[in-house]
Structure 1
Amino acid sequence: MDSIEPFTGKGSEEVASEAVSAGVSDYLQKRGGTERYTLLANRITNLVTQHRAEERLKTRVQQQEAVADLGQYALTGCGLDALFERAVESVAAGLNTEYSKVLEYRPADNKFLLRAGVGWQSGLVGEAAVGAGEESQAGYTLQTEEPVVVEDLRTESRFSGPSLLLDHGVVSGISVIIGTTTEPWGVLGAHTSERRPFTEDDITFVRGVANTLTNAIEREQLEGTLRQAEQRYKTLLENFPSGGVFLFDDDLRYLVARGEGLSAFGLTPADVEGKTLTEVFPPAVVERQKPKYRAALDGETQVWTQEYEGRQYRLSTLPVTGSSDKQLGMVVSMDITGLSASV
């Protein structure tokens, strides 16, 4: 028996009892007058309100889980393109919208590029451009830190609809900036072809996805900056004149070995990196250098000269703090053969 509210006449307590046992939520006794209809209407209203509240809670939980899942996915090293695809799919599913998009702001052209999307005509993702002026919802969104909600684009007075939205019959939508107003990266949006409202929970959801994308983009930019700095550092070391630079750990294992001086001994970085002091150099060199390596790991800087294969070198060992505050050591070797002064 369905969970409905049946009318029962007097003397039907047995029927009512069986109905409740079968899962009926409530029942009303038949009686004269209209009071029973008012009571029935109130109970139906309460049940509908309760059902809607339960559905909203279910949707909010699903949206929160989607943001959490996206955050975990962002940490897998998936790359921005894959993350954008996952984001627009999550937004479209979480809001039950026909369209969703990630727009990348191109300040040189003052336009947005459609980087990822759901529902748009084939061939538009990666190609379609949207103006960044206030004539578009995205452009307007770029000017504010608050989410922009459009109930009906046909009557919208704050901005006009760009062709991307108009060509798809978009009526309602929501958009949020990715990044900040001072350093905007782009806009995240979702749209429908039918008029519909967006709740505060919907706004929080889209904002959460946008924040996840912002964090991932900033992390990618930082890693790119670090990679560039590392490459410049390696280039500098590789061209270190008449000598070499060596970074070693507490096992006296070389982590980095670069410099023009390596080739003078027929060595390459690959011949040295990953090997220990004793695996690279002869016992006589190891005997003199090992105590100085240990001193560097203990925080002491030393400078000395040493002959190796008929040439004179000035060497410096010094302490270096690595990642996670791990103590490392560095050796800087300079060929001073033929110089009038040496240390």
Structure 2
Amino acid sequence: MAETIETYHKMLEDKLNETRILMSVSQIANSTLEIKTILDMICKTVADSLMKDMCSIYLLRSGGKMICIEATKGLKEDSVGIACLPVGEGIVGWVVKELQPLIVEDIRKEPRFKDIPTIGAKDFLSMLAVPILRDNEPIGVMTLQTREPYAYSPDEVNLLTIISNNISAVIKNAELYRNTKTQLDELRTIHEIGKAITSILNIDELLPYICREVSKLLNAKGCVIRLIEDETLPIKASYGVPKEIEQAMAIPLGEGIAGWVAKEGKPLLVDDVSKMPENLRIPVIDATTVLCVPLKIGRRVIGTIGLYNKMDELGYTIFTQNDLNSLTTFASVSSIAIENARLYKTTVEKERTISQAKQRFETLFNSVQDGITTFGRDLIIKTANRFMEKLIDTPLKEIIGKSCYEVLPPQCPAKVTFETGQPESYTYKRVVKGTTFYIEATTYPIIDDKGEINEVVALIHDITERMTYQEEILELYREVAQTKEYLESLIDNSADAIITSDIDGYITSWNNGAERIYGFTEIEAIGKLLPMVPKSLLDSEKKNIKKIKHGETIKDIESLRQRKDGTPIEVSLTLSPILDPTGNVIGISGISRDIS
């Protein structure tokens, strides 16, 4: 009895430890730390709590072609962000491709293991790897390892799977935040470049400057600006294109990607140029992915600006919709600058063009789907875009002139930015017309020619969906914990024998009802091959196991079993498969009732 109590206490302690781990991971996941810090903390927490030598997180890169280590506790720190494997190679590559967990007791006996010398993975012999999924699509892999051979339990697999779901949510939230911040950074850069290019009135200086800056902004290998002349599109400036081939790249209006964009007045994003019709491909240069938008003055198309072959740290990648939006915005500013240069000789036309530039910038400012405000050193709002009206339910004319503390009580991030010169961010809870929502305000310094901060710009973003999602996750955890406790109580107090085994028939759990019916204690039964099945029926039982491995359920069959003392008893038996989150059979559940 003492051993049974001790075993029960150990199981209870294991469950409590799992709960503590999940709560710790949840707290880390819901923090406002940077994504790299969050992933590092999760790796350390999981490795330390489960007493494993290593825990790592890998994420997909390069359009899903490579999987790279992003955080670790145990592997070499200098391998983070550098060490990668092609999808399908190695244990991690296999897991992200097959979308199912993999347990390796000893990697020396595992043919799928592929060593990456720079990370030190071969120093660890066991491995548990589970996929990190979002909407049933892979985004990465989480691994546990020990220095000695080790057989991971189903509970450890399930726990790591739950944690991987947490990580998926963290990455999604981080991507939303990073994309928003990136868009703001690009808007600020575009604004600064826009101010620079509108001041260059020599078109021979202006166009190369635009090509160079937009290529750097969007990490493109090359850029081409074409202007319409007599139904043709000659190259007027380029970046990354050899000068000797520019003339060979001239095309008629309507032909090639740039010709189509100029004729239709619509942007075009091409992931794979080789799949385009022959008449729409780029002549001469070897381009794989292309982004091209029209240069417009009003509705009039004056040319095109095109980028090709986007680069990341691992090589070529593809342009995104955000890149298209940024280039479209940049093209709007560039178009104005080009027109300014063309109309340089006429003062009246120059003034008209500047007026158009101001109007276009205000349109851009007010079309951004986030609140944008600027504050003077007195913390009074100097400018605000139209989206601010929606965020704080106040007319724009009443927002201008208000104090930062009136619009964003009780904290004022602009004050901190003026004092430190660094960006500052706060999250606020608002109730408007009975509806609760959350906003996140991030402030950035605007530095003048003397290096002093004369204004602060604030990006205010509605994060209600993200906060609601986090609250739903916490509530789900609470419900899961309550359901788990209820099921454990139900199983322990059932009069029927409720038994689980692995897919080979070795007992993994044994309730009080099983002990009463068959006489074996839980300690005596765990790890044994069906101790309550007479030897004469083992072959028949193995046939049942084979059916269950294929997903079948065997209901209400009558069969013969034996007690610990060898006494035969008749039972009514139901056998069903236990599935993991990906639908694979990982065990067998059996419920039997004494009908003798």
Amino acid at match of 1:86: M
Q: State how far apart, in whole Å, the 2-side matches of 1:81 and 1:144 are.
A: 26
How far 1:198 moved relative to its partner?
Answer: 1.2
1:208 aligns with 2:162: yes
Q: Deviation per CA, 1:123-146: give whole Å up to 9, x if none.
A: 33343x142344411011102332
Letter in 2 for 1:117: T
Partner of 1:76: 31
1:123 is paired with a residue of what secondary structure?
A: helix
Deviation of the 1:63 alpha carbon: 2.0
Please give the alpha-carbon distance, in whole angstroms, between the structure 2 residues aligned to 1:188 and 1:57. 26
Structure 2 spans left out of the alignment, 5+ residues = 192-328, 330-356, 375-380, 389-393, 402-431, 438-596
Deviation by residue 1:295-317 (Cα, 9 ceiling, x = unmatched): xxxxxxxxxxxxxxxxxxxxxxx
In structure 2, the residue matched to 1:117 is: 72
Give a deviation string over 1:61-96, Cα, whole Å, max 9, x none: 212222222222222211211111111012212321
Is the partner of 1:143 in helix, strand or coil? helix
TM-score by length of 1: 0.53
The residue number in structure 2 matching 1:92 is 47
CA contact (8 A) 1:245 1:257 kept: no
d(CA) in 2 for partners of 1:133, 1:232: 31
| Cα 1:226/1:191, change in 2 over 3 Å | same
1:130–1:162 Cα contact (<8 Å) kept:
no
8 Å CA contact 1:60–1:201 kept in 2: the answer is no
Answer yes or no: is the 8 Å Cα contact 1:59–1:94 preserved in 2. Answer: no
Q: CA deviation at 1:246?
A: 10
CA distance in 2 between partners of 1:57 and 1:146 (Å): 28
Counterpart AA for 2:115: P
Cα distance in 2, alignment partners of residues 176 and 67 from structure 1? 16
Aligned to 1:160: 113
Q: Flag the 1:150–1:180 CA change in 2: closer, same or farther, 3 A.
A: farther
Structure 1 residue 102: deviation in Å?
Answer: 1.1
TM-score, structure 2 length as denominator? 0.32
| Residue 117 of structure 1, CA deviation | 1.0
Whether the 8 Å CA contact 2:384–2:399 is kept in 1: the answer is no
One-letter amino acid of the counterpart of residue 83, structure 1: I
1:269 aligns with 2:222: no
Change (3 A) 1:257 1:82: closer
| 3-state SS of paired residue (1:269) | strand
For 1:262-282, what per-residue CA distance to the aligned partner results, in whole angstroms no more than 9, with x for missing partners? xxxxx952799999747969x
Q: Deviations over 1:7-49 (max 9, x none)?
A: xxxxxxxxxxxxxxxxxxxxxxxxxxxxxxxxxxxx6xx61x5
CA distance 1:275–1:182, change in 2 (3 Å): closer
Aligned partner of 2:13 in structure 1 is 58
Structure with the largest fraction of strand: 2
Across the two proteins, how many residue pairs are aligned to each other? 224
- Structure 1 counterpart of 2:100, which letter? E
CA contact (8 A) 2:127 2:144 kept: yes
| DSSP-derived class of the 2:166 partner | helix
Matched, 1:171 2:154: no
Could you say which structure has the greater relative contact order, defined with CA pairs below 8 angstroms and 6 or more residues apart?
A: 1
- Structure 1 residues 163 and 325, CA gap change in structure 2 (3 angstroms): closer
Output the aligned Cα RMSD: 4.3
3-state secondary structure, aligned to 2:38: helix
Q: Deviations over 1:211-252 (max 9, x none)?
A: 11100111122334455667889977x9534977999xxxxx
Partner of 2:169, secondary structure, is helix
Q: Which amino acid aligns with 1:99?
A: M
Identical-residue share of aligned pairs (%)? 16
For the pair shown, the structure with the greater C-alpha radius of gyration is 1
Match of 2:92 among 138, 141, 162: 138
User: Hey, what does 1:220 align to over in structure 2?
Assistant: 174
Contact 2:105 2:125 in 1 (8 A): yes
> Which has the higher mean CA deviation after the structures are superposed, 73-82 or 181-190?
181-190
Q: Does 1:240 align with 2:194?
A: no
Shift of the alpha carbon at 1:58? Answer: 1.1
2: CA distance between counterparts of 1:83 and 1:279? Answer: 36
2:406 is matched with none
Alignment of 1:270-285 (within 5 A): 277=397
**Pair 324,221 (structure 1): closer, same or farther in 2 beyond 3 Å:** farther
Aligned to 2:104: 150
What CA distance in whole angstroms lies between the structure 2 residues aligned with 1:160 and 1:244?
55
Report if the CA contact (8 A) 1:92-1:100 is conserved. yes
**Compared CA separation, residues 280 and 99, structure 1 to 2 (3 A):** closer
Q: For the structure 1 residues 78 and 99, does the alpha-carbon distance in structure 2 shift closer, same or farther, using more than 3 Å as the test?
A: same
Match of 1:192 among 134, 143, 146: 146
